A and B are shown apart, each in its own frame.
Chain A
Amino acid sequence: MWRPPPCRHVNIDAGAGAEMSEPAFRLVDDERDGPRVPIFETLAVSKSFPSVRALSGVDFRLFPGEIHALMGQNGAGKSTLINLLTGVCAPDQGEVRLGGQAVHFCSPQDADAAGIRTLYQEINLCPNLSVAENIFIGRQPMHGGSRGGPINWAEMRRRATEVLAGLNLSLDVRKTLDCFPIAVQQMIAIARATCVEARVLILDEPTSSLDEDEVARLFVVLRQLKQRGMAILFVTHFLEQVYAISDRITVLRNGERVGEYWAKDLSAEQLIEKMVGHNRLGETLTRTVDTKFSMPVVPDSPQNNTVAQPPPLVSLEGVARRGMMQALDLEIKAGEILGLAGLLGSGRTETAQLLFGVERADAGSIVVGGTSRRFRSPRDAIREGIAYCPEDRKREGIVAELSIRENIILALQAKRGWLRKIGRRQQQHIAEIYIARLGIKAADIEQPIGLLSGGNQQKALLGRWLATGPTLLILDEPTRGIDVAAKFEIMLEIRELCAKGLGMLFISSEISEVTRISHRVAVLKDRRKIAELSAALANEDAVYKLIAGVTE
């Protein structure tokens, strides 16, 4: 069990004014490290989980008075590293040092006691309690001091007001938390995290629920904390925010540290290159023509036929929802695959949810077959011939304890209504058709679908929607977490369906997958569409360049 070294952090605080000035920071560079020591570091930490090596030999340094961005793709090891730093799990090898001393946190509480505060994407506060209570819960000032006694409410309110004033916030601390917008709640969470002996602040995607103004406010606060000597670790998927706020960047890839860079020395393009890896270029070059979807099957490819285009199957016109998606225009034609490419948090799934009526758009309209519609529920979208294979197969897709047969006919039955039951024999017939056609491997169609492998579940869900005879199919991460063979089969099936005239919106976090299969690729970034590429131009490089904001 780690115990805080006496007074060490006090020194940092006391010296904040002088030491935090810009010149002192130059010392962070490797060759000019000088007397400055990182407050929090990992030395060659490794961590493995039963099926995967999440981190191998990662060095990471966090200095007082800096904002440090931790970057990497999904699965690069960011979360694992943060979990090691915050005591959620312990490293297999290597050590974690705080203020130069090795520490062994057994739990997040240990880390918290050592002055390491973590803020997660969701705000872990109690909306029903007052602001003051939220800030001081668990360490309320008592009338009897440390010996207990009744809570000293006046003192608590006074100190809460004081802490918030330190963050440039003036609000009535007696009001309940849910009276305030998310950004202010986030600020209150920071106040709670920093009001007592905090030395390190870890922010895990704190901005994903904030809009631009709110982010700006948050950043003002973060800069203040930095001025006071706090070491801040910041994880986000928004590249612009990384450059707006951070001093240094550590990039992880496949569980290894790619490097540590000054933010001002690393361009966005370089950063993405480091995150994605160099072999991506080779991969792109070796991509052969035959893997690219053959274009001629598209009857109305924009290049060939600019004169008389058929109306699009579905088009989104300025569809937006506050805090979710900025005004978005998209068109999908029959027999066309429109790919959505973007980093996590760029609005890929949100687009699908707005199009399918899972979330209601608060602006814009969805035009289906020439008529403008408003989808208030998936039901409305299904009626217009739209189908949606959701991203989270387990939570949103399968009904685990029902049989394969029941899962396959569920959407069709829902579309027909409860009175027109599909007979048992017909149900079997439909299920068998899709099991055969999609090559679902199952011992028995009466087997609960939850027992199937991920790939077979995905195929069954595909079958569920195909059974409804859709005109537009939205596929959100259809190949996530399934084995290579199943992935290949699903991709083949998608192409075949498309050749038969089905329109498709294809979403995947693997940008190469999107560019390979799509006729057009819409590139999303920070919840808006930034570009659209035709198949000829769409390759992984081009997409990454667009995301990085590089124009040629």
Chain B
Amino acid sequence: MSVIKQILARGSSNTLIWPILTLLALCLLNLGFNPHFLAVRVLDHHLFGSPIDILNRAVPLILVGLGMTLVIATRGIDISVGAVVAISAAMAAALLGGSQAFAGGWSVGAAIAAALGVGLVCGLWNGVLVAMVGMQPIIATLILMVAGRGVAQLLTAGQVIPISNPAYLFVGGGYWLGIPVSLYVAVVVVAATALLLEGTALGLFIRAIGVNPVATRLVGLRANAIVFWVYGFSGFTAGLAGVLISSNLRSADGNNAGLLLELDAILAVTLGGTSLLGGRFNLAGTVLGALIIQTLTYTTYSIGVPPEATLVVKAVVVLIVSVIQSPTARQWLLARLRPHAAPARAPL
């Protein structure tokens, strides 16, 4: 009991404690069903095992989640990331020569660059609508969410394009020094983002915009420009995720690539302790949130939840985690645990 109390009390000061605990609990659950859950073997000079598998599969969500984190920190939202994933995957596949719509035959480097570029452009388009035109973020990105699937289908001519270029497949499915390449990508992007935000003043500016855009303008910040580039960044990370997903699945599917990824990304961001009200973000939390979602998906399969019940189980777990993370609910729980103590400090 006292442990719970301590955890509950500390939870308000350290936002990372909840995602960490959730992840640990999921791992313990898995260990209960499968004692070898955490075992990692070397097979054919490659690392194999559930943890590697989960990490590897979580990479696209981590990347998209990073972009989403910053967008949400500015008090916005980007629900077009799933569609951008599809566009970028379709772009790469088409340029590599799988589609009837394009002659194809581009080099791998050029195809990847084009896919990333198109992701960036998509993000900047959202940025124009939100920061320059002044549209509500959810509406602005809804446009691309709907239209983006259409663009992706045009690029793939309505087909699922198979990709066979070995160099391209290496990015999302290959191994280097025994570790999946996509993990390197994730580490580099997360580190670069953290450096960009904390090594410069951008992190502070983004949080300030999220809390009080009016005051931010009055201190002489170009809030619009910053918001514009934040959406651009979100598009870029979605483009990168598109490359990894298409490479991993060896195909680009305009309809299904990145389907509902925007919702998982928003979930990862919130599980990681970033406030949907803006002004606060936590990159490490988002990474943990993405890992939680991926582990949860893995768990539902591994412990034998029937496929038709998977989504319900997922929803219940998310509900529990969200309730525990809410300061109001936590105060309520604390008050129940020590009925004679003075009323707890009001949440900030």
**In the complex, A401 Cα to B204 Cα: how many Å?**
12
| Binary interface encoding of chain A residues 380-410 relative to chain B, with 1 for a CB under 8 A from any of its CBs, else 0 | 0111000010100001111111100010001
Within the complex, which residue of B207, B221, B222 is in contact with A402, where a contact is CB–CB below 8 Å? B207
**How far apart are B164's CB and chain A's nearest CB, in angstroms?**
43
Specify the chain A residue showing the minimal Cβ separation from B213.
A399
Q: Is A373 an interface residue (CB 8 A)?
A: no
**In the complex, A419 Cα to B201 Cα: how many Å?**
7
Q: Do residues B214 and A396 form an inter-chain contact, with CB atoms below 8 A?
A: yes
**How far apart are A452's CB and chain B's nearest CB, in angstroms?**
13
The A-contacting residues of B in range 168-190, CB under 8 angstroms, are none
If the complex has contacts A399-B208, A402-B207, A421-B200, are A415 and B220 also in contact, measured as CB distance less than 8 A?
Answer: yes
The A-contacting residues of B in range 332-348, CB under 8 angstroms, are 348
| Binary interface encoding of chain A residues 128-154 relative to chain B, with 1 for a CB under 8 A from any of its CBs, else 0 | 000000000000000000000000000
**In the complex, A383 Cα to B348 Cα: how many Å?**
35
Q: Is A378 an interface residue (CB 8 A)?
A: yes
- A413 surroundings in chain B (CB, below 8 A): 201, 204-205
Q: Is A358 an interface residue (CB 8 A)?
A: yes
- B215 surroundings in chain A (CB, below 8 A): 395-399
Q: Do residues A414 and B221 form an inter-chain contact, with CB atoms below 8 A?
A: yes
If the complex has contacts A401-B279, A401-B280, A448-B348, are A396 and B204 also in contact, measured as CB distance less than 8 A?
Answer: no
Q: Is B35 an interface residue (CB 8 A)?
A: no
If the complex has contacts A413-B204, A419-B200, are A379 and B280 also in contact, measured as CB distance less than 8 A?
Answer: no
Q: Do residues A410 and B218 form an inter-chain contact, with CB atoms below 8 A?
A: no
If the complex has contacts A401-B211, A401-B280, A402-B211, are A464 and B205 also in contact, measured as CB distance less than 8 A?
Answer: no
**In the complex, A226 Cα to B222 Cα: how many Å?**
51
- B220 surroundings in chain A (CB, below 8 A): 377-379, 381-383, 411, 414-415
| Binary interface encoding of chain B residues 207-245 relative to chain A, with 1 for a CB under 8 A from any of its CBs, else 0 | 110011011111111100010000000000000000000
**How far apart are B34's CB and chain A's nearest CB, in angstroms?**
43
**How far apart are B112's CB and chain A's nearest CB, in angstroms?**
28
Within the complex, which residue of B200, B219, B222 is in contact with A411, where a contact is CB–CB below 8 Å? B219
- A410 surroundings in chain B (CB, below 8 A): 204, 208, 216, 219
Q: Is B38 an interface residue (CB 8 A)?
A: no
List 26 A-B pairs, Cβ < 8 Å: A377-B217, A377-B220, A379-B222, A381-B220, A388-B218, A395-B214, A396-B218, A397-B215, A397-B218, A399-B212, A400-B212, A401-B348, A402-B279, A406-B207, A406-B208, A410-B204, A410-B208, A410-B219, A411-B219, A413-B205, A415-B220, A416-B201, A418-B202, A418-B205, A421-B199, A421-B200
Q: Write the residues of chain A forming the contact surface with B, with a CB cutoff of 8 angstroms.
A: 356, 358, 377-379, 381-383, 388, 390, 395-402, 406, 410-411, 413-422, 448, 451, 464
Nearest 3 A-B pairs (CB), nearest first? A382-B220, A411-B219, A379-B220
Beyond A401-B279, A406-B207, 17 extra complex contacts between A and B, CB < 8 Å:
A377-B217, A377-B222, A379-B220, A381-B220, A388-B218, A396-B218, A398-B215, A402-B204, A402-B211, A402-B279, A406-B204, A406-B208, A413-B205, A418-B200, A418-B201, A418-B202, A421-B201
